[in-house]
């Protein structure tokens, strides 16, 4: 699968992943008064954001034809 996530997009995803991860841990610790299912939802969102940032590939972007990566497909990445 070709990379379709650009540098700025990776930075935003990494930041969101960190925020969602911190929220997940806060809910588990009881510091944030939300139902415990919220920890699971935030944890899944954090994992998805960090995984797509690390790999540079987003499945949803592939489905809808979005490409924020500035490298053209024939060049090395």
**Tokens matching residue 55:** 């790999």
Q: What stretches of the chain show up as alpha helix (H) in DSSP?
A: 7-29, 37-55, 59-64
pLDDT of residue 70: 80
Burial class (CB in 10 A: 0-12, 13-18, 19+), 56: buried
Q: Break the chain into its structural domains and give their ranges.
A: 8-55
pLDDT in tens, 33-70: 999 999 999 999 999 999 999 999 998 998 998 999 88
To the nearest whole number, what is the mean pLDDT of the chain?
A: 91
What is d(CA 72, CA 4) in angstroms, rounded to the nearest whole number?
Answer: 10
Answer with the residue of higher pLDDT: 60 or 72. Answer: 60
């Amino acid at each position: 699968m070709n990379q379709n996530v650009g540098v700025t997009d990776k930075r935003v995803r990494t930041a969101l992943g960190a925020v969602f991860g911190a929220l997940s841990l806060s809910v588990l610790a009881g510091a944030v008064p939300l139902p415990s299912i919220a920890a699971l939802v935030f944890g899944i969102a954090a994992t998805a954001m960090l995984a797509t940032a690390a790999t540079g590939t987003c499945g949803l972007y592939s489905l809808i034809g979005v490409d924020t990566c500035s490298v053209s497909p024939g060049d090395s990445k």
